[in-house]
């Protein structure tokens, strides 16, 4: 017998705010295809947009200062080389810890054309930045750069588990840096009159043209200086473990089942765990933030309004992939509540990484644009290095941005050795797209403080040439959240997303650096921490952190609720952004493979209730798993029965324990003979007894 309570707890983490679905007739309306475009690299767009916006705002204040010769220009970064050492170190230490080798994946350069971006940007919510992790951040300082190139690089570390699975850890920050290629392109100072009112023009930077970098716009002195600012917050952590500790998470993506090259009959598992920040204490203000205006925004920026240009085939592939992955989960207008729940995943974790240090380390020397232009350099310190150049001249509002690279939150991937390379790729890709696909918001950090008031002018915010623009930073914050991963005692327990979410940014005065956790080692603190969590049988509560906070239920670590020591297999977890964000144009729901734990719960419920009472089954075992409808349960049962009846070799997806399958068969046959409605009381278990062995 499984108590309802237990079941409830078990699936608490799944509680995905389900958005009331519009009538199918309505939902079906409209081309689904459109949605696909929707979330295309919001991150980039946002970054670009922010940069543009910033520039725009900076220009006004800049001009005056420039006139006085007080303009301070930040240095450009030569991300490629100067940062490398540090990155390498970080990477290696991490790799070592994980006993793995690194690999990397590149995402082709992504370029964005501004125009419409700005409008989107304006629609972006920002006040809530505080509670969000600085997924990616950029520091800006004056300079006269126009283009930014960014590409994504993921470092992957592998390790083999005792169970034979290969664990791939995609190092978010630590591993990505080497790929940072900072290229700056100075552009002719030609500004058409008719464009003077334009804030900026973020256009695709052609790599080939992105050559004359720093040298052209900044002097060496500045360059050298910039070195100090090339530190990524994440790298500040002496030990890679610290990062782990903070970002570990467990997200399961159901890719394997769809992989034609799948793993056959083996007990393969594919897991992607975005690393999440460790829970932190004292961030109750999240609550307040959660209710901030941000939550009132109506829908995410429409990506279709943005034009993205891919400069390489790779990028296209990337998009294609994303398309497949996200086409169905395009975010759409979602009820406020839903939106809340899905808007702060990695945010916190990175936010903490944006330490004041990193900010203060920004280049101090400034260089005045040769024409007295205000230029900004977006530092990569926090993951995204972007160099933007602004022209105070009203005439030339064009700013071309090309984000060359940015960090992706650390991910944890585990795939069986038998998995194909292709499946691994897809897994990684899914992990990446999961992070990026939901869209990213931009935050502005100035002097260690988040600048939330969008209406304030830069001057009002104190952002001017006079005020060390080095302390100006941008953050890219994921706009989605993941739902709780369940804890698997045997394996590395992962901190739930809740933890991450609870890891709120410290007060302005307090830098992003999480205190006390930066020097932890991988094996001790991190694992210890995780184990603690696991041993305490903690699991994310049904509510997402935000939800919990809003409810006043559980701030901080209390967001965790005790969970019985059940054989809690990792529950299928899908990024929140993939969850409820569907609406009229609704896509197909995100595929969310049932976890073993869920299957078990289902089996138990069916054993008790029979196969004709799905609604009851739902209420009994999945009441809090909002993403599982009774129809889903019914369908799952259907497939379970089928699965149980076929050869193990033919089964796909996460293997279901034979025991369970046997129970499925038993229950199925039992209830086939007994009308479930009539025997609601007796459990099939009683009649069926223990399952027999199977293949």
Partner DNA sequence: GTTAGGG
Partner DNA sequence: CCCTAAC
Single residue of 103, 216, 357, 635 touching DNA by CB under 7 A: 635
Query: Which one of the spans 33-41, 244-252, 451-459, 628-636 is the region binding DNA (CB under 7 A)?
Result: 628-636
Q: Does 330 bind DNA (CB under 7 A)?
A: no
Give the Cα separation of 194 and 154 in Å (integer).
42
- Torsion angles phi and psi, residue 252, rounded to 5: -110, 130
Task: Give, as ranges, the residues between 568 and 627 that touch DNA (CB under 7 A).
Answer: 588-592, 611-616, 627
CB of 264 to DNA, least distance (A): 22
CB of 8 to DNA, least distance (A): 18
Binding footprint of DNA, residue count (CB under 7 A): 23
Single residue of 67, 281, 631, 646 touching DNA by CB under 7 A: 631
Q: Does 425 bind DNA (CB under 7 A)?
A: no
Q: What does the DSSP 8-state code read for residue 542?
A: S
Closest CB to DNA among 379 and 592? Answer: 592
Closest CB to DNA among 463 and 609? Answer: 609
Task: Give, as ranges, the residues between 23 and 62 that touch DNA (CB under 7 A).
Answer: 24, 27-28
Give the Cα separation of 200 and 148 in Å (integer).
14
- Both tokens of 654, joined, read 């996460």
Single residue of 153, 543, 608, 634 touching DNA by CB under 7 A: 634
Single residue of 59, 201, 396, 632 touching DNA by CB under 7 A: 632
199, with CB counted inside 10 A (0-12, 13-18, 19+), is buried
Query: Which one of the spans 21-29, 47-55, 199-207, 281-289 is the region binding DNA (CB under 7 A)?
Result: 21-29
Cβ neighbours of 509 (radius 10 Å): 9
Burial readout 3-28 (b: 16 or more C-beta within 10 A, e: otherwise): eeebbbbbbbbbbbbbbeeeeeeebe
**476, 46 in Cβ contact below 8 A?**
yes
Closest CB to DNA among 106 and 630? Answer: 630
CB of 589 to DNA, least distance (A): 3
Task: Give, as ranges, the residues between 495 and 514 that touch DNA (CB under 7 A).
Answer: none
Closest CB to DNA among 305 and 626? Answer: 626
CB of 438 to DNA, least distance (A): 17
Cβ neighbours of 637 (radius 10 Å): 22
CB of 675 to DNA, least distance (A): 9
- Both tokens of 521, joined, read 């080692």
CB of 637 to DNA, least distance (A): 9
CB of 591 to DNA, least distance (A): 5
Burial readout 565-601 (b: 16 or more C-beta within 10 A, e: otherwise): ebebbbbbbbbbbbbbbbbebbbebbbbbbbbbbbbb
Closest CB to DNA among 320 and 642? Answer: 642
Whether the CA torsion 458, 461, 466, 470 is positive or negative: it is: negative
CB of 584 to DNA, least distance (A): 12
Phi-psi region of 246 (alpha: psi -120 to 50; beta: other; left: phi over 0): alpha
Give the Cα separation of 445 and 464 in Å (integer).
13
CB of 23 to DNA, least distance (A): 9
Please state the length of the chain: 695
Closest CB to DNA among 136 and 609? Answer: 609
Closest CB to DNA among 488 and 590? Answer: 590
Closest CB to DNA among 196 and 615? Answer: 615
Query: Which one of the spans 93-101, 147-155, 295-303, 629-637 is the region binding DNA (CB under 7 A)?
Result: 629-637
Query: Which one of the spans 363-371, 375-383, 487-495, 635-643 is the region binding DNA (CB under 7 A)?
Result: 635-643
Closest CB to DNA among 360 and 639? Answer: 639
- Both tokens of 583, joined, read 């609406």
Query: Which one of the spans 128-136, 487-495, 534-542, 631-639 is the region binding DNA (CB under 7 A)?
Result: 631-639
Q: For residue 300, give the 3-state DSSP assignment.
A: coil
Closest CB to DNA among 27 and 537? Answer: 27
- Torsion angles phi and psi, residue 150, rounded to 5: -140, 145
CB of 633 to DNA, least distance (A): 9
Q: Closest Cα to residue 306, out of 151, 149, 111, 33?
A: 111
- Both tokens of 105, joined, read 């994946």
Rg (CA), the chain: 25
CB of 671 to DNA, least distance (A): 10
Q: What does the DSSP 8-state code read for residue 522?
A: I
Closest CB to DNA among 451 and 597? Answer: 597
- Torsion angles phi and psi, residue 376, rounded to 5: -130, 150
Closest CB to DNA among 44 and 614? Answer: 614
Closest CB to DNA among 508 and 612? Answer: 612
Phi-psi region of 537 (alpha: psi -120 to 50; beta: other; left: phi over 0): left
Task: Give, as ranges, the residues between 147 and 166 that touch DNA (CB under 7 A).
Answer: none
Closest CB to DNA among 29 and 304? Answer: 29
Give the Cα separation of 10 and 563 in Å (integer).
7
Give the Cα separation of 436 and 430 in Å (integer).
10
CB of 634 to DNA, least distance (A): 6
**410, 14 in Cβ contact below 8 A?**
no
Token pair 């007894």 is found at 689
Give the Cα separation of 551 and 637 in Å (integer).
34
Q: For residue 424, give the 3-state DSSP assignment.
A: helix
Single residue of 106, 309, 321, 630 touching DNA by CB under 7 A: 630
Give the Cα separation of 344 and 130 in Å (integer).
10
> What character string, x for contact with DNA (CB under 7 A) and - otherwise, covers 636-665?
--xx--------------------------
E-strand ranges in 161-316 read 165-171, 271-274, 307-310
Closest CB to DNA among 316 and 642? Answer: 642
List of residues contacting DNA (CB under 7 A): 24, 27-28, 588-592, 611-616, 627-628, 630-632, 634-635, 638-639
């Amino acid at each position: 017998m499984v108590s309802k309570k237990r079941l409830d707890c078990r699936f608490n983490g799944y509680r995905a705010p389900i958005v009331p679905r519009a009538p199918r007739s309505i939902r079906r309306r409209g081309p689904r295809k459109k949605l696909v475009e929707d979330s295309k690299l919001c991150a980039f767009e946002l970054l670009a947009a922010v940069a543009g916006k910033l520039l725009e705002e900076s220009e006004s204040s800049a001009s005056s200062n420039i006139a006085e010769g007080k303009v301070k220009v930040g240095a450009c970064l030569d991300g490629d080389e100067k940062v490398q050492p540090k990155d390498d170190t970080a990477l290696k230490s991490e790799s070592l810890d994980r006993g793995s080798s690194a690999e990397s994946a590149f995402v082709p350069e992504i370029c964005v054309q501004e125009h419409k971006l700005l409008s989107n940007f304006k629609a972006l919510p920002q006040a809530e930045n505080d509670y969000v992790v600085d997924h990616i951040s950029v520091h800006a300082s004056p300079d006269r750069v126009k283009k930014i190139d960014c590409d994504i690089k993921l470092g992957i570390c592998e390790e083999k588990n005792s169970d034979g699975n290969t664990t791939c850890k995609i190092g978010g920050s630590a591993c990505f840096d080497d790929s940072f290629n900072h290229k700056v392109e100075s552009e002719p100072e030609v500004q058409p009159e008719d464009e003077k009112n334009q804030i900026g023009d973020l256009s695709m930077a052609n790599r080939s043209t992105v050559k004359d970098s720093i040298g052209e716009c900044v002097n060496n002195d500045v360059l050298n200086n910039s070195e100090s600012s090339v530190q990524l917050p994440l790298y500040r952590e002496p030990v890679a473990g610290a990062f782990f500790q903070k970002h570990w998470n467990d997200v399961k993506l159901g890719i394997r089942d769809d992989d034609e090259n799948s793993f056959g009959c083996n007990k393969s598992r594919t897991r992607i765990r975005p690393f999440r920040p460790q829970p932190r204490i004292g961030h109750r203000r999240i609550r307040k933030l959660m209710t901030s205006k941000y939550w009132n925004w109506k829908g995410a920026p429409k990506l279709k309004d943005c034009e993205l240009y891919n400069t390489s085939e790779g990028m296209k592939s990337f998009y294609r992939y994303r398309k497949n992955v996200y086409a169905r989960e395009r975010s759409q207008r979602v009820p406020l509540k839903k939106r809340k729940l899905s808007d702060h995943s990695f945010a916190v974790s990175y936010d903490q990484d944006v330490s004041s240090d990193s900010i203060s380390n920004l280049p101090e020397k400034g260089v005045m644009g040769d024409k007295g232009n205000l230029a900004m350099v977006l530092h990569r310190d926090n993951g995204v290095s972007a160099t933007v150049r602004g022209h105070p001249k009203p005439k030339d509002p064009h700013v071309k941005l090309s984000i060359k690279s940015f960090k992706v939150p650390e991910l944890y991937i585990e795939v069986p050795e038998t998995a194909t390379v292709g499946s691994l790729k897809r897994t990684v890709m899914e992990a990446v797209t999961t992070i990026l696909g939901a869209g990213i918001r931009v935050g502005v950090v100035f002097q260690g403080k988040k600048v939330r008031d969008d209406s304030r002018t830069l001057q009002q915010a104190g952002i001017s040439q006079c005020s060390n623009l080095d302390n100006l930073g941008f953050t890219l914050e994921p706009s989605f959240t993941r739902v709780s991963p369940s804890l698997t005692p045997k394996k590395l327990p992962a901190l739930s997303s809740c933890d991450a979410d609870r890891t709120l940014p410290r007060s302005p005065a307090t830098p992003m650096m999480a205190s006390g956790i930066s020097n932890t080692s991988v094996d001790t603190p991190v694992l210890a921490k995780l184990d603690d969590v696991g041993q305490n049988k903690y699991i994310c509560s049904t509510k997402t952190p935000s939800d919990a906070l809003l409810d006043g239920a559980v701030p901080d670590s209390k967001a965790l609720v005790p969970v019985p020591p059940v054989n809690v297999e990792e529950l299928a977890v899908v990024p929140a952004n993939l969850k409820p964000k569907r609406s009229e144009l609704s896509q197909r729901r995100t595929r969310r493979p049932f976890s073993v734990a869920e299957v078990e719960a289902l089996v138990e419920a069916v054993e008790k209730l029979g196969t004709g009472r799905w609604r009851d089954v739902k209420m009994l075992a999945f009441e809090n798993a909002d993403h599982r409808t009774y129809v889903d349960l019914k369908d799952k049962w259907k497939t379970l029965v089928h699965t149980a009846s076929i050869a193990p070799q033919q089964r796909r997806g996460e293997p279901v324990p034979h025991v369970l399958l046997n129970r499925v068969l038993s229950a199925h046959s039992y209830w086939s003979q007994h009308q479930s409605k009539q025997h609601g009381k007796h459990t099939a278990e009683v009649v069926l007894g223990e399952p027999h062995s199977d293949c």
